[in-house]
Amino acid sequence: MSKDLSNSKNRDKLKKSSFALPEEEKYPIPDIEHARNALARVAQHGSEAEQKKVRTAVEKKYPSLKKDD
């Protein structure tokens, strides 16, 4: 079971490398569940550039989530 990252204490414990957009600390991807959620959220609310960056970060960290084009 994954941590609740809506809690700022849990979120503050994450390394920058645990975010798909580390410079902004957006879209946490510490585990595969959060990676899937990041893809869903950025698809709903992110710009096209953010979507590309998040997809790239997720696929690099979790190759099993690689999108077949």
Q: How is the chain split into domains, by residue range?
A: 15-63
Residues 37-64 pLDDT 10s: 999 999 999 999 999 999 999 999 999 9
Cβ–Cβ under 8 Å, residues 39 and 55: yes
The pLDDT assigned to 67 comes to 79
**Does pLDDT of 1 surpass 50?**
no
The pLDDT assigned to 62 comes to 97
DSSP H helices in 1-69:
8-12, 32-45, 48-61
Average pLDDT over residues 16-38: 96
What pTM did the predictor assign? 0.85
